[in-house]
Amino acid sequence: MPGNYKILIALSGGVDSSVAAFLLQQAGYEVIGITLKMWSYEKTYHNKAYSQSDSDFIEEAQNLAKRLHIEHHIIDIQDDFERLIINNFIDEYFAGRTPNPCVLCNPTMKFGIMFYYAKQLGCEKVATGHYLSLKNENGRYFVSQGKDLTKDQSYVLWKMSQEQLSRCFFPLSELTKKEVKDLAQSFGIESIADKRESYDVCFIPNGDYRYFLKLQRPEACEALHGGIICDKNGKWLGKHQGYPFYTIGQRKGLDVAVGHPIYVTQIDPENNKIILGEKEDLLSQTLCVKNFNISKYETLPENFRALVRIRYKDAGTMATITQIENILHCDFDKPVSAVTPGQSAVFYDDKDVVGGGIIF
């Protein structure tokens, strides 16, 4: 209930969290802001200038907190972020997999740190500017897609625990991005409303993860340069730039000419090899996941039917999910393309996130 109810909100300096803070304050909550400094673009990219840097966003968050007259904390978590998220991201690529760092970061870093400080500051809930809703049915908490499906962020929160979800608050669940921008205009924060969107991978502002890997581990990248590219029968097709620079389903940038489109179908890190194939070679009727988390139910119902999304922008395909010991098996109604180890398979019951796991 509003009043003495204290909420800690993540302020990123962007329009979503800014509008969320306004809405919470208007609703009568006592709002405290927190901004996590996770990574320095300038340090990583050798002071290369971008249109806006991480320091710009921190300054915007500070300015918003002053305008709202709310307490605001800036927490530097760069060392932990590098140790837990950056290093895992790099290790996964060097293991021949394609990670989604947001899936790991949300429960272990972003929300994890915020819950810690919420307790210290006497806040009962933690709020963010995510476009999704939170449900509580039969004593179980789970996230569900919000009103704006084009901005849906439910896919990256499947690892959240019951305790974490029970303390979350998502003020933008019933708003579209356009409505949020319109609200920003009405609140007089037009400059924030017109800012660029945050990055898909927050620590790679130019989107070039290959360049990032070279900066982080130049010697390892150089050692892998010149490995073999072959077809599924082992026929030599060329040399690659290093297998961490490729992902399943990739068609562009292969530097191989065979007279028709060809795709990465397999990455063999042990032999420093990339295998190419036809489009139909990417099709799979099944996949398996490990390290799964089920949120909507205490245990997954037997032979459970769900829409399964195998990447962030995937529309999803219906499948039957069965559990065999510590592995979930997904049998799709129709073949899916480019099942990628390291990515997440997330299970949906209509708009509700039932759970998810890591593809292997």
**Residue-range domains of the chain with CATH:** 6-129+171-193 (3.40.50.620), 217-276 (2.30.30), 282-359 (2.40.30.10)
Residues facing 318 on adjacent strands: 307
- What's the average model confidence in pLDDT over 184-192? 90
- What's the average model confidence in pLDDT over 91-118? 96
Least confident of 48-52, 126-130, 210-214, 242-246: 48-52
- As a whole number of angstroms, the distance between CA 306 and CA 340 comes to 19
Q: Which of 225, 275, 230 is nearest to 249 (CA)?
A: 275
Q: Are residues 356 and 308 in contact, defined by beta-carbon separation less than 8 angstroms? A: no
- As a whole number of angstroms, the distance between CA 138 and CA 291 comes to 24
| pLDDT for residue 51 is more than 50 | no
- What's the average model confidence in pLDDT over 104-120? 96
Catalytic residue among 105, 123, 168, 221: 105
How many C-beta atoms lie closer than 10 Å to residue 227's C-beta? 17
Sign of the Cα pseudo-torsion (300, 304, 310, 314, in order) = negative
Give the phi and the psi of residue 137 in degrees, each rounded to 5.
Answer: -135, 135
Task: Reply yes or no on whether 102 is catalytic.
Answer: no
| pLDDT for residue 1 is more than 70 | no
Residues in the chain: 360
Segment 253-292, tens digit of pLDDT:
999 999 999 999 999 999 999 999 999 999 999 999 999 9
Q: Which of 243, 242, 238 is nearest to 258 (CA)?
A: 238
Catalytic residue among 168, 202, 230, 330: 202
Mean pLDDT value across the chain = 93
Task: Reply yes or no on whether 105 is catalytic.
Answer: yes
Higher pLDDT, 3 or 77: 77
Alpha-helical runs (H) found in the chain: 15-26, 41-44, 54-68, 78-81, 87-94, 101-105, 111-121, 162-166, 177-186, 190-193, 209-216, 218-224
Count of helices and strands (H, E) across the chain: 12, 17
Going by their DSSP bridges, the two strands 125-127 and 71-76 should be labelled as unpaired
- What's the average model confidence in pLDDT over 93-110? 96
Rg (CA), the chain: 22
| pLDDT for residue 200 is more than 90 | no
Question: How crowded is the C-beta side of 190, counted as CA atoms within 13 Å?
Answer: 3
Structure tokens, 262:
């060809």
Higher pLDDT, 102 or 45: 102
| pLDDT for residue 10 is more than 50 | yes
Q: What is the pLDDT of residue 199?
A: 56
Q: Which of 229, 183, 145, 171 is nearest to 31 (CA)?
A: 171
| pLDDT for residue 188 is more than 50 | yes
Task: Give Dmax over CA atoms of the chain in angstroms.
Answer: 70
Q: Which of 125, 82, 75 is nearest to 101 (CA)?
A: 82
Residues facing 321 on adjacent strands: 304, 330
- What's the average model confidence in pLDDT over 114-143? 97
Task: Give 49-109 as a 3 state SS string.
Answer: CCCCCHHHHHHHHHHHHHHHCCEEEEEECHHHHHHHHHHHHHHHHHCCCCCCHHHHHHHHH
SS3 category, 260: coil
Q: Are residues 37 and 78 in contact, defined by beta-carbon separation less than 8 angstroms? A: yes
| pLDDT for residue 44 is more than 80 | no
